[in-house]
């Protein structure tokens, strides 16, 4: 088994085949990591959420990190770490085009809205909560890959 660095187009290939990333956010020296669905159109990851801890933390500290992993049948894996900056796509004049773009990109995936649109405690407050779109602008990216040398 050897580990090699992946180039930009190899990283892009891993991202193109993935639907779920681990999104790492932080506030006051406390990291917080959750899985999220995403759609990617370089240089942006687009995603969707309801109000909650991760969006609050990203509003306070827009510097985030995403991890996208891919495993093959054997021992081989590929992973991409993307460093970027959170930006909300508010439901306001001036943002319609970007929101529509996020919606159409995410809408290509079946049931993309389910995990982000549900909370553990159902009820009027959860159902009535606004749906938020955001994007992560990728500022840098690294990729590593294991290759079975046997």
Ligand X SMILES: Cc1cc2nc3c(=O)[nH]c(=O)nc-3n(C[C@H](O)[C@H](O)[C@H](O)COP(=O)(O)OP(=O)(O)OC[C@H]3O[C@@H](n4cnc5c(N)ncnc54)[C@H](O)[C@@H]3O)c2cc1C
> Where on the chain is the footprint of ligand X (CB under 6 A)?
20, 34-37, 47-49, 52-54, 115-116, 119
**In the complex, least distance from residue 147 CB atom to ligand X, rounded to whole angstroms:** 27
**In the complex, least distance from residue 125 CB atom to ligand X, rounded to whole angstroms:** 12
> Which pairs with CB-CB distance under 8 Å and at least 24 residues apart come from 70-78?
70/14, 70/17, 70/18, 74/148, 75/1, 75/146, 75/148, 76/145, 76/146, 76/147, 76/148, 77/145, 77/146, 78/6, 78/10, 78/14, 78/143, 78/144, 78/145, 78/146
- 9 or 30, CB closer to ligand X? 30
**In the complex, least distance from residue 2 CB atom to ligand X, rounded to whole angstroms:** 30
- 6 or 66, CB closer to ligand X? 66
- 78 or 134, CB closer to ligand X? 134
């Amino acid at each position: 088994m050897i580990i090699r660095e992946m180039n930009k187009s190899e990283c892009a290939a891993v991202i193109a085949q993935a639907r779920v990333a681990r999104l790492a956010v932080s506030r006051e020296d406390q990291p917080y990591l959750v899985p999220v669905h995403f759609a990617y159109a370089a240089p942006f990851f687009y995603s969707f959420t309801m109000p909650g801890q991760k969006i609050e933390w990203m509003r306070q500290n827009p510097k985030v990190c995403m991890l996208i992993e891919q495993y093959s049948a054997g021992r081989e894996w590929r992973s991409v770490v993307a460093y970027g900056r959170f930006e909300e796509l508010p439901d306001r004049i001036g943002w319609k085009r970007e929101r529509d773009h996020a919606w159409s990109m995410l809408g290509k995936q079946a049931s993309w809205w389910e995990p982000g649109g549900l909370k553990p405690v159902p009820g009027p407050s959860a159902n009535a909560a606004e749906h938020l779109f955001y994007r992560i602008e990728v500022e840098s990216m690294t990729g590593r890959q294991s290759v079975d040398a046997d």
